Amino acid sequence: QVQLVESGGGLVQAGGSLRLSCAASGRTLMIRQMGWFRQAPGKDREFVGRVVWSNGRTDMSDSLEGRFTVFGDLVKNTMSLQMNVLKPEDTAVYYCAADLAGTGADYDFWGQGTQVTVSS
């Protein structure tokens, strides 16, 4: 199995920036991709961005591209999310997830999440 730990969340004023990190441990050799998701109050969990481990490709949600950038360090098995020009609507719990080879699910393991709160 893989354990995921998010860090970097906190309080920030609108227009500010935060950088989230996700550290993977365990059977990291099996990781196919790692992704960021978020869940805002009263809303379903939504996709933010991902890193495909096989080729280093990164993908961002169309609505967030330009403000958010996802980074992956395939050697250290870490993934980061740089969030700029934050808006109150970005307030959510941000989750890191990992997709392992040999499983049918898109994402097999999830972190506990880190809270991001953007004040207006």
How confident is the model over 41-49, as a mean pLDDT?
Answer: 95
Whether the predicted pLDDT of 86 surpasses 90: yes
How confident is the model over 93-112, as a mean pLDDT?
Answer: 91
108 CB contacts (<8 Å, ≥6 apart)? 2, 98, 99, 100
Separation between Cα atoms, residue 51 and residue 49, nearest integer Å: 7
pLDDT band for position 73 (50/70/90)?
Answer: very high
How confident is the model over 66-76, as a mean pLDDT?
Answer: 94
- Give ∠ CA 101-103-104 in degrees, rounded to 5: 125
pLDDT band for position 62 (50/70/90)?
Answer: very high
Phi, psi angle pair for 30, to nearest 5°: -90, -5
